[in-house]
Amino acid sequence: MPTSPDDGAWLDPKWLVIGFALAAFGLIASYDWRLGLAAGALLGLAGLTWLALALCYRAGPPTARSRLVELARQHARNRRLAAARVPVRSGAQQPPQPPQRP
């Protein structure tokens, strides 16, 4: 199952993009230092823009989606706990008793 962006997981695609951007910056900087400075400036500008947007639109109250996801997780947890318990049969579910002779 794919991870949710609400989880804050380390496997978020943004980390992959950041890693490739830093690797590209390193390759460009090792090729030509002036080109590396220009690429670093663009990368820094993109980072600052991302930071400004992240701070501006930071998470507020829980959304309907996050509440629904939490409810689904709670239901799944309850189902796992119920399946792990030893089943207790009620009177109607007990197997029939053989007739006893007096």
Residue 38 lies in a domain: yes
| Domain-embedded: residue 24 | yes
Question: Is 34 within the bounds of a domain?
Answer: yes
Domain span at 43: 11-59
Is the residue at 67 inside a domain?
A: no
Coil, helix or strand for 12? Answer: coil
Query: Is residue 98 assigned to a domain?
Result: no
CB contact set of 5 (below 8 Å; sequence gap of 6+): 12
In a domain, 30, yes or no: yes
Asked if residue 17 belongs to a domain, the reply is yes
Please indicate, yes or no, if residue 94 is contained in any of the structural domains: no
Q: State percent of the chain over pLDDT 70.
A: 75
Return d(Cα 76, Cα 84) in angstroms, integer: 12
Q: What's the total number of domains in the chain?
A: 1
pTM: 0.45
Taking the CB of residue 40, how many other CB atoms lie within 10 A of it? Answer: 15
* pLDDT tens track for 27-78: 888 888 888 888 889 888 988 998 888 888 776 677 788 889 999 999 999 9
* pLDDT for residue 1: 43
Q: What mean pLDDT value characterizes the chain?
A: 80
Distance in angstroms (rounded) separating the CA atoms of residues 1 and 50 = 28
Measuring CA to CA, which residue among 65, 53, 61, 47 is closest to residue 6? 65
**What does the pLDDT look like over 65-90, one tens digit per residue?**
888 999 999 999 999 898 888 666 66
Q: What is the pLDDT of residue 3?
A: 52
